[in-house]
Amino acid sequence: MGKIKLLQGNEACAEGAIYAGCTFFGGYPITPSTEVAEFMAKRLPQIGGAFMQMEDEIAAMASVIGGSLAGCKALTATSGPGFSLKQENMGFAMLTEIPCVIVNVMRGGPSTGVPTGPGQSDIMQCKWGTHGDHPVICLTPAYVQEIFSETVRAFNLSEKYRTPVIIAFDEIVGHMRERIEIPDPGVLPVINRTKPTCPPSEYLPYDDSKGDVPPMANFFEGYRYHVTGLNHGPDGFPVNASPRIHTDELRLIRKVEGNRADIVKFEETLLDDAEVAIFAYGVSGRSAKTAVEAARKEGIKAGLFRPLTMWPFPEEQVAAIASRVKAIVVPELSLGQIIFEVDRCAKGRCKVEGIYRVDGDPINPAQILAKVKEVK
Amino acid sequence: MAFDYDQYIRGGKLPHIWCPGCTYGIVFKSLLRAVDTLKFNRDDIALVSGIGCASRLPGYVDFNTLHTTHGRALGFATGIKMAKPDKHVLVVSGDGDATAIGGNHFIHACRRNIDITVLVFNNFIYGMTGGQYSPTTPSGHMATTMPYGNIDPSFNIPDLAKGAGASFVARGTAYHAAGLDRLITEAMQHKGLSVVEIINACPTTHGRRNKFKSPTDMLLWMKDTFLPAVAFDKLPPEKTAGKFPMGVLFKKEGVPEYCETYYGLVERLKKQREGRA
């Protein structure tokens, strides 16, 4: 039996990071994610880890990558404008294959927007925010307990695939307090990066000849190698206009796309006989679950698909649902973003209808139920 | 016996990208001589850079090397140092990288007095992109984005570093290479944030647009312009116009170093826990 606690989502995220073995946090204060930093500021010095409040969001992201390269599991947390500022260095970590976890507690609006309100309008930025083609893993928990376990999973995926992992949840889930159980050590798996076993003279940090995820040496362990944000060869040194760039960028994408069975996670509720499916995540997923229960009481065959992995997008699953339902309803706290992905996978096999809201309040179950009735 | 540079240079990575007449090669060699003097284990050195001509230096050296994003080297370096405070962390940067796009990181690294050595290669111009003015381009100088002469006031990098809290500040030049060895060595020995501004020449994008007929002219300009701080300080004010001091310009021992303070806190918390147990 683990420890029972009453925690808000942001605190559960920090607890999950500690459970996963995180010993480095680099951050910058921003609403509504600040509690993650506050929790880490208290906990990390207690366990000998490093906490840094950096001078800005960009430096925070940079410090996290540096900390990871020096051997720590590293976390940063941010929201809205801060997430925009981190994008360039996130791309650096993707290309240089340095594990780290980025939490985005989503708030409303472009620019400063609604700092204290919930939003889900960064979900496409999670996928496409940094420039160039790049691999992205993004997890979307909806409950405090789930934020804990998905944070552990985020670190595991990051270490396993040598890539940054984003956790995106909204302000409501981040600030909501719920009862959670923190499992004893060893209950949830904890994965560490694979290190090289060859002698340093033979080490190639980006050697893809034995698999898509090359072993990673930490700095100061005798493997003196070069890390650059330029496209590079197996030895880590820059290459220009080479076929290697094409094949290496394909490998980076394949690390994620080729491991969907391991990475893509979701929850299905009453979908087997559903005539109307709801595709929803985060706080909208919680409302959708209540809407499904209400619909069933009225004899309406509604079901819920709630992705815990948003990127890579659960394409096969959505396609399968689309081929057996009349309609998919997509409630989201944006003016319509993830609906484009749902529509792309549905390929016209069913209606796809959105419910959008950006006024600072969540989409409530009644709104979703009304839409379900409208499309059934 | 001649100094063996090859022991520190990665096989097959030369020739370097720097143009003929560029002085970065001189500074590169000075850096290697300084490291050699200190007998650091090269496994224990991280050399970090941002973007620009100077930032290509780490690729040539057989240390743990990290070539990052424009201006952000100090953010990465801070993460490395905090994760492994017993290791040596060096940053090489340019004038634009360190004081324009990276200006915020520069002043805050100085403020923290974290034990990192920052070598700012000041060539007064954005060289890699072809000669745009930087925060150190002298007044009136021609640059591709100041085609009528520079109207932008410039930074004095040592003053900036000192004002922001760095506990060791020095200035050297590529012309005074032997003195530069000593400055880099002393900077790396110093506990705390150390900054060495190193005056360099970019004949390709700066010199040829500004009446320097050859790279040699630019080196001679350094010879005439930069005086040892001791000599500079003795000059009457009317004779200091257009001249600048070099050498160790500011040094303060005993300023709390960031990692020591942080890990001192970690130790204190540990003792408190043990005391309670």
For residue A246, tell me if it sits in a domain.
no
Out of B67, B68, B84, the one facing A62 most closely (by C-beta) is: B68
Residue A240 has pLDDT above 90, yes or no: no
A74 touches chain B (CB under 8 A): yes
Kindly give the interhelix angle for B103-112 and A57-69, rounded to the nearest 10 degrees: 70
What is the mean pLDDT of the segment spanning B219-240?
A: 96
Chain B closest CA to A98's CA: distance in Å? 12
pLDDT in tens, A91-110: 999 999 999 999 999 999 99
Q: What is the ipTM of this complex?
A: 0.98
CB-based contact A44:A81 (threshold 8 Å): no
Residue in A with minimal Cα distance to B13: A237
Interface with B, mutate which of A55, A86, A230 (most B CBs under 10 A) = A55
Look at residues B126, B146, B144, B148 and name the one whose alpha carbon lies nearest to residue B136: B126
DSSP string across A153-180: HHHHHHHHHTSEEEEEEEHHHHH-EEEE
CA A211 to chain centre: 24
User: Is the same domain home to A297 and A177?
Assistant: no
What is the mean pLDDT of the segment spanning A28-42?
A: 98
User: Kindly report the CA angle at A103 between A101 and A104, in degrees rounded to 5?
Assistant: 145
Q: Answer yes or no: do A66 and B64 touch at CB < 8 A.
A: no
Residue B277 has pLDDT above 80, yes or no: no
Distance, CA of B260 to CA of B265 (rounded, Å):
8
Mean pLDDT score across all residues of chain B: 97
pLDDT band at residue B276 using 50, 70 and 90 as cut-offs: confident
User: Is the same domain home to A122 and A270?
Assistant: no
Give the pLDDT of residue B6: 95
For residue A63, tell me if it sits in a domain.
yes
A88 touches chain B (CB under 8 A): yes
Residue in A with minimal Cα distance to B102: A59
A369 touches chain B (CB under 8 A): no
User: Is the same domain home to A178 and A281?
Assistant: no
Instruction: Find the CATH number of the domain harbouring A89.
Output: 3.40.50.970
Task: Residue window 187-246, chain A: list those with CB within 8 Å of chain B.
Answer: 219-222, 224-230, 237-238
Instruction: Find the CATH number of the domain harbouring B30.
Output: 3.40.50.970
User: Is the same domain home to A161 and A269?
Assistant: no
Number of domains, chain B: 1
> Domain boundary at A121, A148, A182, which?
A182
What is the mean pLDDT of the segment spanning A26-37?
A: 98
Out of B64, B76, B81, the one facing A62 most closely (by C-beta) is: B76
A362 touches chain B (CB under 8 A): no
Residue A53's contacts (CB-CB under 8 Å, 6 or more residues apart) are A27, A28, A29, A37, A41, A60
For residue A213, tell me if it sits in a domain.
no
User: Is the same domain home to A9 and A121?
Assistant: yes
What is the mean pLDDT of the segment spanning A158-165?
A: 98
Read off the tokens for B128.
């890699």
Out of B83, B87, B265, the one facing A45 most closely (by C-beta) is: B265
For residue A301, tell me if it sits in a domain.
yes
Instruction: Find the CATH number of the domain harbouring A311.
Output: 3.40.50.920
For residue A237, tell me if it sits in a domain.
no
Q: What are the phi and psi torsion angles at B154 (to 5°)?
A: -110, 160
Task: Residue window 30-59, chain A: list those with CB within 8 Å of chain B.
Answer: 45-46, 48, 50, 52, 54-56, 58-59
pLDDT in tens, B190-201: 999 999 999 999
Exposed e or buried b for every residue in B233-270, given b needs 16+ CB within 10 A? eeeeeeeeeeebbbbbbbbeeeeebbbeebbeebeeee
Domain containing A314: what range? 265-375
pLDDT in tens, A294-333: 999 999 999 999 999 999 999 999 999 999 999 999 999 9
Out of A59, A67, A219, the one facing B72 most closely (by C-beta) is: A59
User: Is the same domain home to A16 and A156?
Assistant: yes
pLDDT in tens, B12-34: 999 999 999 999 999 999 999 99
Q: Answer yes or no: do A70 and B46 touch at CB < 8 A.
A: yes
A-chain CB neighbours of B87 within 8 Å are: 70, 219-220
Give the pLDDT of residue A1: 78
Give the pLDDT of residue A79: 98
Number of domains, chain A: 2
Claim: this prediction has a pTM higher than 0.95 = yes
Domain containing B73: what range? 5-276
Interface with A, mutate which of B64, B70, B271 (most A CBs under 10 A) = B64
What is the mean pLDDT of the segment spanning A129-145?
A: 98
pLDDT band at residue A62 using 50, 70 and 90 as cut-offs: very high
> Domain boundary at A182, A201, A230, which?
A182
User: Is the same domain home to A35 and A154?
Assistant: yes
> Domain boundary at A119, A151, A182, which?
A182
DSSP alpha helix (H) spans, chain B? 24-38, 73-83, 95-96, 103-112, 157-164, 177-189, 215-225, 229-234, 258-276
Look at residues A138, A137, A132, A126 and name the one whose alpha carbon lies nearest to residue A91: A132
Q: Answer yes or no: do B108 and A54 touch at CB < 8 A.
A: yes
Distance, CA of B49 to CA of B29 (rounded, Å):
17
pLDDT in tens, B48-74: 999 999 999 999 999 999 999 999 999
A-chain CB neighbours of B64 within 8 Å are: 219-220, 224-225
User: Is the same domain home to A289 and A177?
Assistant: no
Exposed e or buried b for every residue in B94-127, given b needs 16+ CB within 10 A? bbbbbbbbbbbbbbbbbebbbbbbbbbbbbbbbb
Reduce the DSSP state of residue B15 to 3 states and report it. coil
Mean pLDDT score across all residues of chain A: 98
pLDDT band at residue B150 using 50, 70 and 90 as cut-offs: very high
For residue A145, tell me if it sits in a domain.
yes
User: Is the same domain home to A35 and A173?
Assistant: yes
Residue B1 has pLDDT above 80, yes or no: no
User: Is the same domain home to A158 and A279?
Assistant: no
Q: Answer yes or no: do B83 and A60 touch at CB < 8 A.
A: no
pLDDT band at residue A21 using 50, 70 and 90 as cut-offs: very high
Residue A247 CB coordination number (10 Å): 11
A87 touches chain B (CB under 8 A): no
Q: Answer yes or no: do B104 and A48 touch at CB < 8 A.
A: no
User: Is the same domain home to A163 and A61?
Assistant: yes
Chain A closest CA to B102's CA: distance in Å? 10
What is the mean pLDDT of the segment spanning B27-48?
A: 97
For residue A135, tell me if it sits in a domain.
yes
For residue A235, tell me if it sits in a domain.
no
Residue A52 has pLDDT above 90, yes or no: yes
pLDDT in tens, A198-221: 999 999 999 999 999 999 999 999
What is the mean pLDDT of the segment spanning A48-64?
A: 98
